[in-house]
Structure 1
Amino acid sequence: MIAKRIFGLLSLVSMISLLWMASNNPLDKKANYGRLIVERSKTAVTMETENPFTTNFSKIPNSNRSLLMTTASISANTDVMNYKRAAVMMTYLHNITLKFPTRIDEFFSNVAGIFSNPWSHDVNNMELFRLFYKNETKKNFYDSVMLTQRNTVNTSYGGIELPKESLLPRPPYKSCSVVGSSGILLGSKCGRLIDEKDFVFRFNLASIAGFEEDVGRKTNMTTMNPSILTRFGMLASASNRTEFSRSKLADQEGLIWTPMTNRYINRTLDAIELRNDSHMTLVIGNMNHFNENAELWKKYGLIRTKRLRPTTGFYFVSCAVHLCSEVHLYGFWPFTTSLDGRDIPAHYYDDIIITKYHDASHEIKLLLNMHRLGLLKFHIENCETGNVTYVPGRPVRAVSAAATNGTKKVRKIIKKIIKKVYRKKIKVTQGKNDQEGPN
């Protein structure tokens, strides 16, 4: 009897051990590879990450060579070590992002500290970042960022013929500007520096005319969120298309990347054709690739929850790091106050309701830490003087005054809808009671 109990206990211990080993198997697709690598290379990580401003993950020593890799495609020993270093770097990026303060005054103070240190471009870290993406997704941004006949079985989409291959110029580009739409660009005088870069990304058909001194003029690719069409009646009529062409396409050029469904593609093409001198080409975003990248960031804890997805801006920052030798970010600031205490609107060209669908505060932490690792340069300074001024103690509002007014309007509309639904329910209930008659 005792022997049976001992045997059963040993079997239970063996089962628990096997389960533990399976849960920590680096070959398991759901395993946190970066965490495992860091745990097995603590000495290397500690040595190389004491000073985040001088971190160079390509110099992590070749210790613990018996570490299992997560991909069978890497065979050469040097590639194995580079992938290990890349995973360590991504884990470090995750860890220092989590350590970023959440209190806004501490956050601003931390940001001021980052910009008090000189920035340097780290080619080695960029190569590791690209290697990490390549081996996790087995794809590259050049071939995958838009739908083509090479990456889909279809030759057309929404009635338009897909290009045979990517319409992007062949990378690498020497330098790129990725221009967000934050109001922090107002008065920045960054236009000349933005236009000097070889390739310029912009977002959601952001207006340029009248803001050239601050945001530049050059555009090689801009995105278009289909939700923007709601302001123009979903382009259902000729007058809608004319108004859209006049107000949103007047100062656009280059590639227009959109994750649009079939229904509105031809309407958008009609609006583009209204510009006789048009130098625009509509391309369809490859949402499979977008979602794969979102899942990759979530897997490594860099996007925090399943409900939230990365912004299109964050996706194209990743794209730029792959396509460009040097990346410069402008207009990425999801706050209504600058470091020097100025009030700034959500967008430099209009007022819009701020949504919490994207994890903007977490994304900016990631981008700032990518700046620290030399993967990109994050600009919030006045480009004429090069100065970043920090004025502590200024309260930061969650939304701008205009956004608050817009939120109030939305709330009123929602209340009206609820009242209408509630009244209908009352009428239905009363009708049933009348049919049933008194008890």
Structure 2
Amino acid sequence: MANTSSITHNYKQVWIPLSRYNTIARIMSCKFIFRRRRQLCCFVIAMLLVYFTLALFMGEQKSHITVKKRHHHRHHRKVPRILGNVNGTVKGAVNGTKSHKGGKIKPPIRRKKPNIMESVLNNGTIDVLKVFKSIHQNWTFNATAAEEFRLLTENGCNTSETFLVTKRTVKINDTLPYEAEKDRQWNVTSNVLNRIPRESPYKWTSFKKCSIVGSSGILLGSKCGKQIDSSDFVVRFNFAKIRNFEEDVGSKTSLMTCNPSVFEKNYYGLAENMTEQFRKDVLTEYGNTTIYIPAFCNSLGNQLSFRAQDVLNSTSVRILFPNPLHMISVKSFWKLRGVGGLHLSSGLLLFTTFLSLCQEIHLYGYWPFIEDAYGTPVYYHYFDSPDTVHRLARLQGRYHNMPAELMSMINLHNRGIIRLHYGQC
């Protein structure tokens, strides 16, 4: 009779040959595994290599598919967010509504009795001609409505007190946020206090008529220069060129805004070999003006702004820095009224600010489309060359919700609060 041994499995007795039992015991023993550790290690390494190879291959395939889908969407969507087509329309400019087959657009839920501009926006389509026709041509100034809106913005933004960084609004060792970087702050040092005025130079000033002059190519051929220069106060943006364009844009400059990135782009960060050219350009083009630089918008703008102030320190040009708390309050004011976007445009920011300083505001060169109402191409800047006509479509939608801003401006124009100027003056 064969030599056997019994084990209990699932409450039943099973007879297994002793030789087989010894084999199972050896397999289950650490001694056997230890003796075979070299083979086991090689097996594990081989399996890991196979696993990572398959994972890498599948990851590349997924990435390729994702890129292909993005490429497909980029080249086959109907119209970008702020790109006008040949018929002068902008699709998905505000709500981002996608076009469907057959040119139909799924409308979102609407409020009761929307006005013409709300209907245009809610449908996800901006018809430039319809926008243009909605601007009342027979404009008259409504002093009562203008005063009511001025009080509304003053209560929401407190412009008269917080417009600029001054010794009255900040103290040494104060900590304030950057306007564009919510997670970062800056400290008020003695260096900052030495660069700012004691109080706002406009605190006790009121202008009867102010002109805020944008840089859109819609100004070309307008012949608005004399009308702009007749204003008591003129605001321009980012060192917009004046020479050779005086007939259309005028020459008077009371306040010039400048994003610090302009110093980096046009003057190589105001390097030593460019400071003289920068000083000459400012004095020749704009004279004894005031320059408004958002030095505390983000952490990268501080040194460039201070450098520009040092270069112009020996001239009659005055440098002012906006208070980031005021910029944040203006952004919140308009966000509550449906004008969002990553940042407000400089035009909307300065317009809101000067509501507290001017009785009557006229706005020129504020047109966020690459075509006018009749399909004629419009340059991004009136001083641009023809090859930059489509820069608006590439750049504008990244930071500002320009169509929504324009709708707000049209509403204020139609109520007689501000005056929008398009076409010839």
Q: Same-fold call, TM > 0.5?
A: yes
Query: Partner letter of residue 257 of structure 1?
Result: Y
| Structure-2 residue corresponding to 1:121 | 141
| Structure-1 residue corresponding to 2:353 | 319
Gaps of at least 5 residues in structure 1 are 1-90, 384-439
CA contact (8 A) 1:178 1:330 kept: yes
**Match for residue 133 of structure 1 among 146, 149, 153:** 153
**Match for residue 111 of structure 1 among 132, 149, 153:** 132
| Structure-2 residue corresponding to 1:221 | 255
CA contact (8 A) 2:330 2:352 kept: no
Q: CA deviation at 1:95?
A: 7.4
After superposition, the C-alpha distances for 1:156-197 in whole angstroms (9 at most, x for unaligned) are 554743211102273321111010010111111100000101
Q: 2:191 & 2:233 partners in 1: Cα distance?
A: 27
Taking the TM superposition and a 5 Å limit, the aligned residue runs for 1:211-250 are: 211-232=245-266, 234-247=268-281, 250=284
CA contact (8 A) 1:241 1:270 kept: no
Taking the TM superposition and a 5 Å limit, the aligned residue runs for 1:270-289 are: 270-273=310-313, 278-289=315-326
**Match for residue 293 of structure 1 among 286, 308, 330:** 330
**Match for residue 147 of structure 1 among 145, 155, 165:** 165
| Structure-2 residue corresponding to 1:369 | 411
Gaps of at least 5 residues in structure 2 are 1-110, 173-188, 296-300
Give secondary structure in 1 for the equivalent of 2:167: coil
Q: CA deviation at 1:152?
A: 1.0
Q: CA deviation at 1:372?
A: 0.7
After superposition, the C-alpha distances for 1:14-38 in whole angstroms (9 at most, x for unaligned) are xxxxxxxxxxxxxxxxxxxxxxxxx
**Match for residue 309 of structure 1 among 311, 327, 343:** 343
After superposition, the C-alpha distances for 1:351-390 in whole angstroms (9 at most, x for unaligned) are 564321111111111111110111100000201xxxxxxx
CA contact (8 A) 1:326 1:376 kept: yes
CA contact (8 A) 1:96 1:369 kept: no
Q: 1:382 & 1:100 partners in 2: Cα distance?
A: 26
Flag the structure with higher strand content: 2
Q: 1:118 & 1:104 partners in 2: Cα distance?
A: 26
Judged with a 3 Å threshold, the aligned counterparts in structure 2 of structure 1 residues 104 and 244 are, in CA distance, closer, same or farther, namely farther
Query: Partner letter of residue 144 of structure 2?
Result: N
Q: 1:188 & 1:317 partners in 2: Cα distance?
A: 21
Q: How many corresponding residue pairs?
A: 283
Q: 1:100 & 1:246 partners in 2: Cα distance?
A: 47
Judged with a 3 Å threshold, the aligned counterparts in structure 2 of structure 1 residues 135 and 269 are, in CA distance, closer, same or farther, namely closer
* Match status 1:359 vs 2:396: no
Q: 1:298 & 1:114 partners in 2: Cα distance?
A: 23
CA contact (8 A) 2:258 2:291 kept: yes
TM (norm. structure 2) is: 0.61
Q: CA deviation at 1:148?
A: 0.6
CA contact (8 A) 2:293 2:305 kept: no
Q: CA deviation at 1:317?
A: 0.9
Q: CA deviation at 1:232?
A: 4.1
Q: 1:291 & 1:95 partners in 2: Cα distance?
A: 30
After superposition, the C-alpha distances for 1:104-148 in whole angstroms (9 at most, x for unaligned) are 663422422424x411111111121122223334x2x23322111
CA contact (8 A) 1:201 1:219 kept: yes
TM (norm. structure 1) is: 0.59
CA contact (8 A) 1:232 1:240 kept: no
Q: 2:242 & 2:236 partners in 1: Cα distance?
A: 10
Percent identical among aligned pairs is 31
